[in-house]
Amino acid sequence: MTLRSITLWGVRVLEGLTAIALLALMAIVLVDVVGRNGWNHPLPWAAEILEIILAASIFLFLPVLAIRGGHVTVDLIELPTMARVQQVLSGLIGAIVFGSVTWALARHTSRVAEFDEVTPLLGIPLPWIFGGLTALAALTVLLSLAWAVCHLWRGCTPLADAAKPEDLL
């Protein structure tokens, strides 16, 4: 397997997991509302798990955006000669921003691990949750750097899929 096919495979796994997270988000809200209004049996822990799934759905997709250069970019001024410099800069800045997020999450993980904190209702261990988010943020940093390196080295074809503002709202 080449590095490229491994990356593509990884992207598909992350996309699939995010798709499942979205369906779960919808399903839990539905069951909660129907249960509360129909049978007077809401899911008391719905809000707790929904917030975790929302965070998961975001962090699972951040690495995909990083390796595809998929964040929203404004291309008002076309500078063909600078194109590579711009991409390298974007990769490095992405690595710094998500580096700070990784650092913050890692520090928070070690704090909640120290006191073995759990979520109030379901008792899910917080170190698992924040540890998972830290790993995904770290993967985002790694892939942002990979994006920068790939644009430095001529032999590399990036998995480009840059988003324009029109992909957004």
Partner 1 sequence: MTLALLAFLAAFALIFFQVPIALGLGFVGLMGYILLNDTTAAISMVMAVTRDVTMSYPLIVLPLFILMGNLVAGSGVSYDLFRAAQAVLGRRKGGVAMATVLTAGGFSAICGSSVATAATVGRVAIPDMRRLGYSDGLSSASVAAGGTLGILIPPSVLLVVYGVATQTHIGMLFAAGMIPGLVGVLGYFIAVKWTIWRKPDSAPAVMESDPTPKARLILSLWPVLAIFGLVMSGIYSGWFTTVEASGIGAAASLVYALSRHSVRGPQLYHILVDTAKTSCMMFAIILGAAIFGELINQTGIHHALMAMVNADGMSPFWVITIMLLIYLVIGCVLESLSILLLTIPIFFPVIVALGFDPVWFGIVVVVVVEIGLITPPIGVNLFVIRSVVPDIPMSRIVLGVIPFVVVDLFRLALVALVPALSLWLPYALFPGGQ
Binding site for partner 1 (CB under 8 A): 15, 18-19, 21-23, 25-30, 32-33, 37, 47, 50-52, 54-55, 57-62, 64-65, 70-77, 79, 82, 86, 89-90, 93-94, 96-97, 100-101, 103-105, 107-108, 133, 163-169
Residue 54 CA from chain centroid, whole number: 10
Least separation, in Å, of the C-beta of 152 and partner 1?
A: 16
Nearest CA to 111 out of 137, 141, 140, 131 is that of: 131
Which residue pairs, CB below 8 angstroms and at least 24 apart, start in 9-18? 10/63, 11/64, 11/67, 11/68, 11/159, 14/60, 14/61, 14/63, 14/64, 15/61, 15/64, 17/56, 17/60, 18/57, 18/60, 18/61, 18/64
For residues 60 and 137, the answer to whether their CB atoms sit within 8 Å is no
> What is the spatial distance between Cα 115 and Cα 121, in angstroms, rounded to a whole number?
17
Quick one: 78 or 116, whose CB is closer to partner 1? Answer: 78
Least separation, in Å, of the C-beta of 3 and partner 1?
A: 23
Quick one: 93 or 152, whose CB is closer to partner 1? Answer: 93
Quick one: 2 or 81, whose CB is closer to partner 1? Answer: 81
Quick one: 84 or 155, whose CB is closer to partner 1? Answer: 84
Least separation, in Å, of the C-beta of 157 and partner 1?
A: 19
Q: What are phi and psi of 66, to 5 degrees?
A: -65, -45
Quick one: 134 or 155, whose CB is closer to partner 1? Answer: 134
